[in-house]
A = this chain, B = another copy of it.
Amino acid sequence: MNIDSIQNGIIIDHITAGKGMEIYQLLDLAKLSCMVALINNAHSAKMGRKDIIKIDSNIELDTDILGYVDPNVTVTIIRDGKVAEKKHLSLPHELEGVLHCRNPRCICSVEQELPQIFRLTDEKKRIYRCIYCDSTF
């Protein structure tokens, strides 16, 4: 089973097998009116199995969420049937509105209008800390 190339759109490739659905839901792709394909367990020479998401439109993608969930992912932007851009993601330095502080005494738990912001403090261990109270996620 193969998926043909798209003319204008986005390919999220090299997703760790099993994580495609999580990314699909975090990016809220079910709400799009364009064609979207989620392929689980595609063959991959490098990874054995991988998931792929193809979006038949050039939407704005939240690469911070993508990088956080699966930093090995590659994002390819297709315009007029040609590769216009290829992005390799990494763990984002800062995450806003993705993680939620679990410290009930943190100022961001009390003041609901404050944005939930976390900063990467240890890249190897993937540790993010709340910028207000320093709690880890």
A-to-B contact residues, CB < 8 Å: 1-6, 9, 18, 21, 29-30, 32-43, 49, 54, 56
Contact = CB atoms under 8 A, between A and B. Distances in A.
Contacts of A2: 3-4
A38 B1 CA distance: 12
Given A1-B54, A3-B3, A36 B30 contact: no
* Interface-centre pick from A29, A41, A43, A49 (highest chain B CB count, 10 A): A41
Contact of A37 (B9, B18, B37): B37
Contacts of A33: 41, 49
Given A3-B3, A4-B4, A54-B1, A43 B37 contact: no
25 contacts: A1-B4, A1-B5, A1-B6, A1-B35, A1-B37, A2-B4, A3-B3, A3-B4, A4-B4, A21-B30, A29-B40, A32-B40, A32-B41, A33-B41, A34-B41, A35-B39, A35-B40, A35-B41, A35-B42, A35-B43, A36-B39, A36-B41, A37-B37, A37-B38, A37-B39
A38 B21 CA distance: 10
Given A36-B40, A36-B41, A37-B37, 4 more contacts: A1-B5, A3-B3, A34-B41, A36-B39
Contacts of A40: 29-30, 32, 35-37
